[in-house]
Structure 1
Amino acid sequence: MKYAQTRQVMAIAPVIPVVVVSDAASAVEIARALVAGGIRVIEVTLRTEAGLAAIEAIAQQVDDICVGAGTVWTEAQAEQAIDAGAEFMVSPGIADDVNAVAQARDIAYLPGAQTVSEIAHLKRQGVTATKLFPASVVGGPAAIKAFASVFPDLVFCPTGGIKEDTARDYLALDCVPCVGGSWLVSADAVAGGDWEAVRLAAERAVALSDS
């Protein structure tokens, strides 16, 4: 079932890189650099027109990486992402239409929540893993501890405002198997084609699981 698959995706690496791309070619280079650094998962957001093409290119050209679609809000986006090769989907908040597509097509899905009521809504649908966004705004690790006391069977992927030097504070929580982070793939690195910087950032992110 999809919910078990979601936890499997969350277990791949301590950090899921959240990437915004402007072209498919750069996306492929980013994915290869992440794999070289030991990160074998990537979330390509659908915030740009290149998102779907980037997912398709990564799925076809990069081995040993689990590619997902982020910022998925609609049924149409969900169908397009899966057809492009996405192996999981992520929404910043509740998107019941996307959840329905994920269930029907048996694909991992990580919906977002910010409040107890929203988490309870997801729980009623059988969701056992949720994205918490924007994590740094809604209370950080302290908020997750509070949520976990009410929902002890849930796991969280906090995303939003998390940096390399704050990720450990989240990962120290038993209910946080991974965080989402954009710092691994900086805009400067992409603009300059500095894939070595991406690789090194990925290596440091992998090391977070040892701390």
Structure 2
Amino acid sequence: MTQNETLQPLNSMANKTARIDALCAQAKILPVITIARQQDVLPLADALAAGGLTVLEVTLRSAFGLDAIRLLREARPELCTGAGTVLDRHTLAQAEAAGAQFIVTPGSTHELLQASAESDVPLLPGVGSASDIMIGYALGYRRFKLFPAEVAGGVAALKALGGPFNEVRFCPTGGVNAQNLKNYIAQPNVMCVGGSWMIDSTWVKNGDWGRIQEATAEALALFD
């Protein structure tokens, strides 16, 4: 981080963009985690961390999401834990209160983008079109999640969007997997990807944490 960045207030867009860049560089892959059982939280996080993923996106798609974030912040402070599937201002406030270190949304509304612009917690807003990007761009956002990536045009869309939005970087999520990962990360406007293929629900249900660790390591090896 440069001296200028350290002088920026926490809720400045420049500061939050720099923090998003740093966590995406650390993450490479943002694992999209949905907790079905409370007892899975720590062993799943430990398996992902052992495989090399230390930045975790815990979605709020289940009743256990907020509690999982609180638990990870308390019991695994060395991990960077964020909240995904944040849909509105109320959910944003809940995620922040739970201790989320970053926020990810599947789409964008002006209300949510504005609320996050006033927050200290960095947001990676979801977009699926040039119009979506322009709404966030007008408020100072330069980092977005392309979702659902494959449905929204995948690699071809990223190439096309790179022309008019040359300052923008993306985390494509939705349909990204071990087979197409290299095509995504080869794009200059991709900073990391999101996915859940290394968290097979059967492995989680059976407590096969070793298999999750192995799949995670295999996924990260594709970056070499």
TM-score, length-scaled by structure 2: 0.90
- State the 4+ residue runs in structure 1 displaced beyond 6 angstroms: none
Unaligned segments of structure 2, at least 5 residues? 1-14
Q: How many equivalent pairs are there?
A: 210
* 1:78 maps to which of 92, 111, 114: 92
> How far does the alpha carbon of each residue in 1:50-79 deviate from its partner, in whole angstroms, 9 at most, with x for none?
110111111111242111100101111111
Once residues 78 and 67 of structure 1 are traced to their aligned partners in structure 2, the CA distance between those partners, rounded to angstroms, is: 14
Structure with larger RCO (C-alpha < 8 A, sep 6+)? 1
Once residues 151 and 141 of structure 1 are traced to their aligned partners in structure 2, the CA distance between those partners, rounded to angstroms, is: 15
1:25 aligned to 2:25? no
Q: What is the 5 A alignment of 1:9-158?
A: 9-158=23-172
Contact 1:72 1:98 in 2 (8 A): no
Aligned to 1:188: 202
Contact 2:142 2:168 in 1 (8 A): yes
Once residues 28 and 99 of structure 1 are traced to their aligned partners in structure 2, the CA distance between those partners, rounded to angstroms, is: 31
Contact 2:110 2:135 in 1 (8 A): no
Contact 1:157 1:180 in 2 (8 A): yes
> How far does the alpha carbon of each residue in 1:101-130 deviate from its partner, in whole angstroms, 9 at most, with x for none?
333331111001111111111111111100
Once residues 127 and 208 of structure 1 are traced to their aligned partners in structure 2, the CA distance between those partners, rounded to angstroms, is: 29
Q: Which moved more, 1:67-76 or 1:95-104?
A: 95-104
Per-residue deviation, 1:96: 3.2
> Once the two structures are aligned, what percentage of the paired residues are identical?
39
Q: 1:63 to 1:37 in 2, by over 3 A?
A: farther
Aligned residue identity for 1:164: A
Q: Which moved more, 1:111-120 or 1:6-15?
A: 6-15
Q: 1:191 to 1:204 in 2, by over 3 A?
A: same
> How far does the alpha carbon of each residue in 1:17-62 deviate from its partner, in whole angstroms, 9 at most, with x for none?
0011113321221111111111111111111111101111111112
Task: Name which one, 1 or 2, has greater alpha-carbon Rg.
Answer: 2
